[in-house]
């Protein structure tokens, strides 16, 4: 079964909940990249994690886990 990756709410201000299903190997932990492709954060494995927007500038980010990806938008406060 392919992993399903989602984030809600999206766009977000202060935080968003990341959900994914499947038995992903640890090397497929969700990774957050900025628009330039720079790795920003590696999230811990698990079915659901809250991603804090603390320290993130407003803009577009890409969340990837395995072969799945989701575009995230951090809105300006």
Half-sphere exposure of 63 (CA within 13 A, CB side): 23
pLDDT of residue 3: 58
Q: What angle do CA 61, 53, 45 make, to 5 degrees?
A: 75
pLDDT of residue 22: 60
Cα 60 from Cα 48, distance rounded (Å): 21
Domain map of the chain by residue range? 4-74
Each residue's pLDDT tens digit, 10-65: 999 999 999 886 655 555 788 999 999 999 999 887 778 899 999 999 999 999 98
* Domain 4-74 listed as CATH 2.60.40: yes
Cα 44 from Cα 75, distance rounded (Å): 24
């Amino acid at each position: 079964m392919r992993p399903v990756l989602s984030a809600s709410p999206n766009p977000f201000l202060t935080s968003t909940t990341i959900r994914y299903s499947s038995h992903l190997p640890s090397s497929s932990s969700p990774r957050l990249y900025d628009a330039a492709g720079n790795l920003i954060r590696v999230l811990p494995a698990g079915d659901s994690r809250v991603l804090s927007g603390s320290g993130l500038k407003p803009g577009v980010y890409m969340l990837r886990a395995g072969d799945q990806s989701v575009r995230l938008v951090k809105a300006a406060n």
